[in-house]
Structure 1
């Protein structure tokens, strides 16, 4: 299962890199066009918004998988192993619940944006809002192995063995 999740996260980072490159290219095109030809492409800002939203959401989900997201644990490290494990379990369960709720509300939010249109490219705004439930889904799925590790007594933040709760 870890290999599958690794491949999914790698793919997300690859797509994020492509989106970053696309943002760079279209904005450079806009700069050159405006400077050299006194012509502006109106669609660049709308296209960039869609790309930025997807780039951030896909990258953040991959960060959850690789445990590269922001996690404040300086106080938790001062706790005894058993309490620290309990705290990590609670934090991970709350995070998982948050991602599930974000997925459900993200789907509803995206569904309400179908009829809204980006003015210059005439695309539905659902293209940008759909990134939110995708991010939430993958983040929730990526939290599952972390929860399993915690329940087995492993500390996913340090690789230090904790006492198993089973």
Structure 2
């Protein structure tokens, strides 16, 4: 059961990372498009800034899951390794529990926010702003899976080297 969960997390985090990378490429391309239309052609695009900002928000929230999986988030590793093993493990669990709580609240509040803003449109576009706010609950769901898997791997003494990302644990 745990092995199946870790495999699922590897797949979902890999998908989130790939989507984050694609959205970051969209962000960079649209930012360049915006600069060219504004300063070269003196005819600024009305929609590219909104889409660039929205893609960046989605990219960040999807990318956090991969960062958490690889231990790239701000952490307390120095303190954890300096402590005796039982205290270090307790700190590890406390940090993961706090992160889990934060992203669980963010998922819930993001879901509620999507409902509140569903009838509002993005500036210069006829698209609901809820699509942008949806990055909070969707990204948080990916992050919660990554936190649970990182906790399980940490308690088992396992680590995920970068070259095995997306592979089955």
Q: Are the equivalent residues in 2 in contact too, given 1:16–1:58 (CA < 8 A)?
A: yes
The C-alpha deviation readout for 1:108-159, integer Å capped at 9, x for no partner, is 112111122212112211111110111211111112223334445x3769xx
Contact 2:120 2:129 in 1 (8 A): yes
Matches of 1:141 and 1:131 in 2, distance apart? 15
Change (3 A) 1:156 1:83: farther
Number of the residue aligned with 2:103: 99
Q: Does 1:11 align with 2:15?
A: yes
Counterpart in 1 of 2:90? 86
Please give the root-mean-square deviation of Cα atoms over the aligned residues, in Å: 2.0
What is the DSSP-based 3-state SS (H/G/I as helix, E as strand, rest coil) of the residue aligned with 2:73?
A: coil
Please, which runs of 5 or more residues in structure 2 have no aligned partner? 161-169
| Structure index of larger Rg | 1
Aligned partners of 2:9 and 2:149 also within 8 Å: no
In 1, the alpha carbon distance for the partners of 2:159 and 2:46 equals 47
After the TM superposition, which segments of 4 or more aligned residues of structure 1 sit over 6 Å from their partners? Answer: none
Unaligned stretches of 5+ in structure 1?
Answer: 158-166
Contact 1:49–1:128 (8 Å) recurs in 2? no
Change (3 A) 1:24 1:149: closer
Higher helix share: 2
Higher relative contact order (CA 8 A, sep 6+): 2
What is the number of equivalent residue pairs in this alignment?
156
Name the residue aligned to 1:141.
Answer: 145
The 1:108–1:81 alpha-carbon spacing in structure 2 relative to 1, beyond 3 Å, is: same
Residue 73 (structure 1) aligned with residue 77 (structure 2): yes
